[in-house]
Amino acid sequence: MPYLVSETSLDRVCKEFAWEDAVFQNLEVFAIAIEGTAKCPFTSEHMVRNVGVLGANTRSAENHCSVEITEDA
């Protein structure tokens, strides 16, 4: 199960999150918007930014290091 770890000089906190298929959920919302059933809640800017974040995740995993996400990522 995915989790978030936050460390400070005083303590360590772990929080578990239930797994969700975010890619499927995004595609499902997009398909509903295409059908005209509902408006897509994501702007074009959100979509482009998400692609940049996915790319940063891939680079981080490949290089085993943190990757800074810039405004143009």
Residue 10 covered by a domain: no
Which pTM does this prediction carry?
0.50
pLDDT tops 80 at residue 73: no
pLDDT tops 60 at residue 17: yes
Taking the C-alpha atoms of residue 64 and residue 24, their distance in angstroms, rounded to an integer, is: 26
Residue 16 covered by a domain: no
Number of domains in the chain: 1
Residue 63 covered by a domain: yes
By residue count, the chain amounts to 73
Q: What is the mean pLDDT of residues 52-73?
A: 84
Residue 64 covered by a domain: yes
Residue 45 covered by a domain: yes
Q: What is the residue range of 31's domain?
A: 21-73
Q: What is the mean pLDDT of residues 21-27?
A: 85
SS3 51: helix
